[in-house]
């Protein structure tokens, strides 16, 4: 399957949150009790049972209010930190560009949770498995659009082949820039390129997302330096021990000790060192 | 003191609390290393089945870690000498460096001269200091990893490399410690001491001259004649 992409055109989003509902319906995720966070926003972040939500941002400029909306879910990075952090090889990339979790392999350690730049995956306490947006891989690989895309009324979400969507996004950016000079594309330049690409009307930090997310330094240090070095250290220690035993055997130190022990009563050793 | 008369003597090297503490630490180290390896190496996960699966293993690792921390702290409270050793292990002097310099020769079964050593020689001091620093870091980071929601994200992120990095370091140190304590034909004379307290006096005098002479002078009751 060719690489897919979901284009999130926030300039068309009306904040209706139907995407959230469709996601819950298709993925059989129960509703959760929630409260008002800010503006019209009712969800603080993703949870094991809520994989996508809309954040609302009110910005005042020259006495006019800009009402900005941002649909959050897993970005399906090409080079995901969660996958690198996973100690159980439970997270993998599909050819279609999705980042998927194998629930059979997941042990719920939460390493991915701490290392995702957006904090998307969450461990479900009941099953002890990590849960996040699957990108509706089950629908996509059977020729359907993701649930959120299929329900989006204003057409803020569109789905298709990556190249096609990227072109559409760039065309749309040129168009929107005429009225919103700060408009930008968010996703194609970060984390190896994300499968969910955003057209934003303002800088990413206005939407409360990191402008240039990257794999944490601690993650690189951990997986690329400390683990290989630790393996070498243990290997060297093991080799030194084998050599030590061989060297002692060759020098006759083991048989000498046996003799010493046997003769401790009859000849009280007077040689010293 | 004359080494000629030491062949049939033993010296009391490790008290009961010292020996129990070493045992607790050793058993805890092996149990925690084994139960933690499944997370470090995916290929090791099937081995967790003998404990009843990854869920059980995780609980053993977490509760075992907490119990080990408590027991080690209790050992510290009961045996006031521990504190002195830890602080003295961080005071690395000329004689300690001289010992470490010649240590590789001893390691591979040779003999090289070294200055008289105290209760713990330069190499053992390194072992104690490394153990102490590493265990404190491993215990703290382990606690942070256990409750990631309570701590800031950067702290959790840095706890992962710190936890596994110091574990890997200690795994290498542990292999060395096992070799010197069990497999090395000269230094494994101390093995008896860590189980029963008494070690051959001749061995003690050769390896820890300063300490042995001090014991002979101040606590002669700690040296006994064996048949």
Q: How far apart are CA A232 and CA A218, in angstroms?
A: 20
Question: Which residues of chain B have a CB within 8 Å of the CB of A107?
Answer: 38-39, 45, 54, 58
pLDDT of residue A269: 43
Highest averaged pLDDT of the listed ranges A50-59, B71-80, B88-97 = A50-59
Q: Is B40 on the interface with A (CB under 8 A)?
A: yes
Q: Mean of the pLDDT values across residues B11-21?
A: 91
Q: What pLDDT score was predicted for residue B8?
A: 85
pLDDT at B72 (0 to 100): 87
A184–B contact, CB cutoff 8 A: no
Question: Which residues in B lie closer than 8 A to residue A216 (C-beta atoms)?
Answer: 154, 157
The answer to whether the CB of B162 falls within 8 A of the CB of B154 is no
> What is the per-residue pLDDT for B55?
87
Write a three-state SS string for chain A: CCCEEEEEECCCCCCCCHHHHHHHHHHCCCCCCCCCCECCECCCCCECCECCEEEEEEEEECCEEEEEEEEECCCCECCCHHHHHCCCCCEEECCCCCEEECCCCCCCCCHHHHHCCCCCCEEECCCCEEECCCCCHHHHCCCCCCHHHHHCCCCCEEEEEHHHHHHHHHHHHHHHHCCCCCCEEECCCCCCCECEEEEECCCHHHHCCCCCCCCCHHHHHHHHHHHHHHHHHHHHHHHHHHHHHHHHHHCCHHHHHHHHHHCCCCCCCCCCC
Query: Would you place residue B4 in the very low, low, confident or very high pLDDT band (cuts 50, 70, 90)?
Result: low
What are the beta bridge partners of residue A99?
A: A93
Contact state of A234 with B171 under an 8 Å Cβ cutoff:
yes
pLDDT at B54: 87
- Nearest Cα neighbor of A47 from A84, A72, A17, A10 is A72
Residue A125 CB-density burial (10 A; 0-12 exposed, 13-18 middle, 19+ buried): exposed
Fold of B16-183: Fumarate Reductase Cytochrome B subunit (1.20.950)
Question: A-chain residues within 8 Å CB-CB of B160?
Answer: 85, 111, 114, 218-219, 222
* pLDDT of B227: 67
pLDDT for the residue numbered A271: 41
Are the CB atoms for A88 and A109 separated by under 8 Å? yes
Rounded to the nearest angstrom, the minimum Cα separation between A170 and chain B is 35
Report pTM: 0.88
Residue B220: its H or E element: none
Q: At what angle do helices B16-40 and B81-89 cross, to 10 degrees?
A: 60
Contact status, residue A199 vs residue A10, Cβ threshold 8 Å:
yes
What pLDDT shows up at residue B3? 58
How many Å lie between the alpha carbon of B132 and the closest alpha carbon of chain A? 19
**In A, which residues are within 8 Å of B184 by CB distance?**
244, 248
What's the confidence (pLDDT) of residue B2?
56
DSSP letter, residue B222: G
- Percent of all residues in chain B with a pLDDT value above 90, rounded to a whole number: 55
Q: What is the pLDDT of residues B44-60, one digit of tens each?
A: 888 888 888 888 999 99
Q: How far is B218 from chain A (nearest CA, A)?
A: 23
- Taking contacts as CB-CB distances below 8 angstroms, the residues of chain A near B201 are none
* Contacting A residues, span 83-122, partner chain B, CB-CB under 8 Å: 85, 87-89, 107, 109-111, 113-115, 119
Residues forming a β-bridge with A101: A91
Mean pLDDT split into 10-residue runs, chain A, 273 residues:
95 96 97 92 94 95 92 96 95 96 94 96 95 96 96 96 96 96 95 96 95 95 94 92 92 83 50 40
Predicted confidence at residue A113, as pLDDT, reads 96
3-state secondary structure B20-73: HHHHHHHHHHHHHHHHHHHHHCHHHHHHHHHHCCHHHHHHHHHHHHHHHHHHHH
B167 to chain A: which residues are within 8 Å by CB? 230
Asked if the Cβ–Cβ distance from A244 to B179 is below 8 Å, we say yes
Q: What would the pLDDT profile of B178-189 be if each residue is shown by its tens digit?
A: 999 999 988 888
Does position B78 have pLDDT exceeding 90, yes or no?
Answer: no
B157 contact A CB<8A: yes
Closest-CA distance, B6 to chain A, in angstroms, reads 8
The alpha carbon torsion through B63, B65, B36, A120 (nearest 10 deg) reads 70
Which of B7, B58, B185 faces A268 most closely, judged by CB atoms?
B7
Q: Give the pLDDT confidence score for residue A258 in this predicted structure.
A: 80
Residue of A nearest to B147 (CA): A110
Nearest to A233 among B160, B164, B172 (CB): B172
Mean pLDDT across the stretch B195-223? 91
């Amino acid at each position: 399957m060719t690489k897919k992409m979901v284009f999130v055109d926030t300039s068309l989003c009306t904040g209706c949150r139907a995407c959230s509902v469709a996601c819950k319906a298709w993925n059989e995720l129960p509703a959760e009790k929630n409260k008002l966070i800010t503006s019209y926003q009712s969800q603080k972040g993703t949870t094991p049972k809520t994989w996508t939500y809309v954040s609302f941002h009110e910005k005042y400029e020259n006495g006019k209010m800009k009402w900005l909306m941002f649909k959050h879910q897993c970005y399906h990075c090409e080079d995901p930190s969660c996958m690198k952090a996973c100690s159980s090889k439970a997270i993998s990339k599909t050819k279609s560009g999705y980042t998927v979790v194998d629930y059979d392999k997941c042990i719920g350690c939460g390493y991915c949770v701490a290392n995702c730049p957006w904090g998307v995956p969450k461990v479900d306490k009941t099953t002890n498995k990590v849960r996040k947006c699957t990108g509706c891989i089950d629908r996509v690989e059977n020729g359907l659009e993701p649930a959120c895309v299929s329900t989006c009324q204003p057409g803020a979400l569109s789905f298709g082949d990556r190249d096609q969507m990227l072109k559409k996004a760039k065309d749309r950016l040129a168009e929107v820039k005429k009225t919103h000079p700060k408009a930008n594309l968010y996703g194609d330049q970060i984390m190896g390129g994300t499968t969910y690409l955003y057209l934003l009307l303002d800088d990413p930090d206005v939407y409360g997302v990191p402008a240039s997310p990257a794999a944490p330094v601690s993650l690189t240090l951990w997986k690329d330096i400390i683990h290989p070095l630790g393996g070498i250290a243990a290997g060297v220690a093991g080799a030194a021990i084998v050599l030590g035993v061989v060297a002692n055997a060759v020098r006759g130190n083991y048989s000498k000790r046996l003799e010493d022990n046997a003769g401790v009563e009859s000849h009280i050793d007077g040689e010293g060192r | 003191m004359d080494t000629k008369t030491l062949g049939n003597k033993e010296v009391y090297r490790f008290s009961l609390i010292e020996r129990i503490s070493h045992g607790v630490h050793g058993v805890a180290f092996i149990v925690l290393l084994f139960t933690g390896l499944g997370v470090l190496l995916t290929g090791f996960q099937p081995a967790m089945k003998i404990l009843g699966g990854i869920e059980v293993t995780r609980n053993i690792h977490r509760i075992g870690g907490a119990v080990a921390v408590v027991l080690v702290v209790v050992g510290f409270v009961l045996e006031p000498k521990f504190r002195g050793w830890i602080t003295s292990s961080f005071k690395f002097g000329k004689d300690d460096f001289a010992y470490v310099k010649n240590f590789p020769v001893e390691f591979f079964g040779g003999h090289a001269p070294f200055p008289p050593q105290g209760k713990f020689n330069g190499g053992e001091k390194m072992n104690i200091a490394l153990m102490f620093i590493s265990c404190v870091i491993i215990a703290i980071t382990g606690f942070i990893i256990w409750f990631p929601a309570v701590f800031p994200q950067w702290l959790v992120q840095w706890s992962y490399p710190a936890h596994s990095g110091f574990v890997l370091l200690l795994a290498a140190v542990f292999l060395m410690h096992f070799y010197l304590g069990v497999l090395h034909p000269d230094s494994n004379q101390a093995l008896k001491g860590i189980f029963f307290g008494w070690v051959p006096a001749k061995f003690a005098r050769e390896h820890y001259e300063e300490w042995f002479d001090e014991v002979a002078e101040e606590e002669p009751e700690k040296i006994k004649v064996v048949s």
